[in-house]
Amino acid sequence: MKTLEQILQFKGRDVLVTSPDSTVYDSLALLAEHEVGALVVMDNNRPVGLFSERDYARKVILKSLSSHDVLVRAIMASPVICVDTSLTVDKAMGIMTERRVRHLPVLDDSAQLTGIVSIGDLVKDIIAEQQYTIDQLQHYIHS
């Protein structure tokens, strides 16, 4: 099973971030511009929360609030669950399932943000691993 370090090497380490004092509107614009579902909320170079489309839908729109007036700090998921690069894909999937989250910021050995993985990233890797196993078994059977 791969580690998150290996996933990030393939996927890339770009992480979009926002500030707790940004407006929800500005953060939504960033999500839309980059076609991603979540931003890591950083304060003093530390991840302090996660802002997602889900937060916006449930905590702004459904409450008839204005995204121009509400700050990210008011609706972000906090505390944020961060994981280490050495964590395996299956363990990360277990955390996501248990904690009902779709994104995990990944920290390096010095506790610095080094990437983010989504449930989609992990599912894609698991499917690729399963396909590899199937291909190997078919090759073995037909040899």
In tens, the pLDDT along 15-63 reads 999 999 999 999 999 999 999 999 999 999 999 999 999 999 999 999 9
Largest CA distance in the chain: 66
pLDDT tens digits for 101-115? 999 999 999 999 999
> What is the domain class of 4-142 according to CATH?
alpha beta
Torsion angle in degrees (nearest 10) through CA of 42, 45, 46, 52: 20
With a CB cutoff of 8 Å and minimum separation 6, the contacts of 41 are 17, 18, 19, 20, 47, 48, 49, 50, 51, 72, 73, 76, 78, 80
What local confidence, expressed as pLDDT, does residue 92 receive? Answer: 98
Proportion of the chain above pLDDT 70, given as a percent: 100
H-run or E-run covering 117: strand 113-118
H-run or E-run covering 47: strand 46-52
pTM across the whole model: 0.88
Q: Where are the domains of the chain?
A: 4-142
The 3-state DSSP class for residue 105 equals strand
Instruction: Write down the residue that tokens 């944020």 correspond to.
Output: 80
What local confidence, expressed as pLDDT, does residue 134 receive? Answer: 82
